[in-house]
Every structure is written in C-alpha cells, then in structure tokens.
Amino acid sequence: RGRLLFPICNLQGKVVAFGGRVLGEETPKYLNSPESAIFRKRRELFGLHLTKRFLSPNESRVLVVEGYFDFLRVYGSGFRNVVATLGTALTDEHVRVLKRFVPEAGVTFDGDPAGEAASLRGLEVFLEGEMSVKVALVPPGKDPDSLIGERGPGEFQKILEQAHDLFDFKWRSLTRAYSPSDPAGLLKISSEFLETFAKIKNPLLLDHYLKRLAALL
C-alpha cells in the first residue's frame, strides 16, 4: 500500500492494530486499522506499553503528543514519560487510562492554530476527568519531532518547564482572538471561560479560577 507501518500495541504490549503513514502524496496521510473487538482508538495510546514502567504517582506528569513520529523523537531523546494519540482527539477513556498512572498530564501539540484548538479541547477532557493538566507551547510551524531534531532535547526541556496551566493557556488564546476592553470581546471571553468552568468538579479549583477571571476582567 506504499505506507510505513507502525504496530499499535495495547497496554500489555500485544499488537492490536497498525497505523500506516503514506510514503507518497496520496491521501489520507495516515490510515489506521479499522476498529474491532480488540482495538478502539478512543482508548489506546501509542507507546503506553513502553512508558508505563516509567510512570508512577510520584512522577510529575505524562506528556501527550500528537503522532507516531513525535512519540519516537521524544521517547528516543530521553523523555520516557510520553504517549501519543492515534490521530484522534483526546477522550474521556484516554484520561481514565492515564489517571491510573500519574496525577498530571502535559499536553504538547503542534504550534499552529489547529494544534492550539486541539490543546484547548484536550484540556477540557482532562478537567472533566478530574486530572491536572498543563500545556507546553511548541513554536509556530514546529512540532516536538522537528523541534528536537533542529534544536535538540534541551530546547524541548525548556518548553516543558514553561508549560501553562489551563487558565493561563485559555486566557492567552482568547485574548489573542478577542479584546477584553471591548464589550463584545468581554462577553465572548467570559462565556468561553464559564463553559469551561462548568466542567470543573472540584469546588476549590473552581473558586480559584473564578476569582482569577474576575480580577482580570
């Protein structure tokens, strides 16, 4: 089929599907095995069977990247606490699986508008699953694979150390799209935040975020 195949393993390390990356210009760029009784994209995370032994409740976080190449580059550069989604958005099932290993996730998606939108959606899935989350912002036009390849693991480490929490990331994203000094922008920012806050189950965290938003607005 002219594709580079990646074996997709379940948590026990058994191959349950394949992901195919086209080598030419055909579409779709990526093609996964169809879902079956043993393979559900909403649940499986690429590489978790390898990284699970490096994860524990004492580990600060698990890194979540977008694709096979990002996983291979990050894992091969010494960051063993990484998994990748299978070309799908993060789901509540992904969060339930990850919560078994660590208390916090670090979402590291591509530095473009689509990647930022995916990050925001992912953040809310973690919130609903009551798992702490931060976002590491990769420079525009880069992804973890290209960033490490061009600038080295040290640059990627700096980005991880500067990760934003949910509130800061959403504020940054919304205030680039809407002006808080404009009444229409103020309403849009407020409503977007309140939709997110509605998914927070911890009352102390909700109170903290509401006070921060009130102070800024």
Q: What is the pLDDT of residue 68?
A: 95
pLDDT of residue 52 exceeding 90, the answer is yes
Structure tokens at 209: 């975020």
pTM, two decimal places: 0.89
Helix axes 203-216, 166-177, angle to 10 degrees: 30
Cβ atoms 156, 144 nearer than 8 A: yes
Q: How confident is the model at residue 73 (pLDDT cuts 50, 70, 90)?
A: very high
Cβ within 8 Å of residue 106, ≥6 positions away: 61, 62, 63, 64, 133, 134, 135, 136, 160, 163
My answer on whether omega of the bond before 140 falls inside 30° of 0, hence cis, is: no
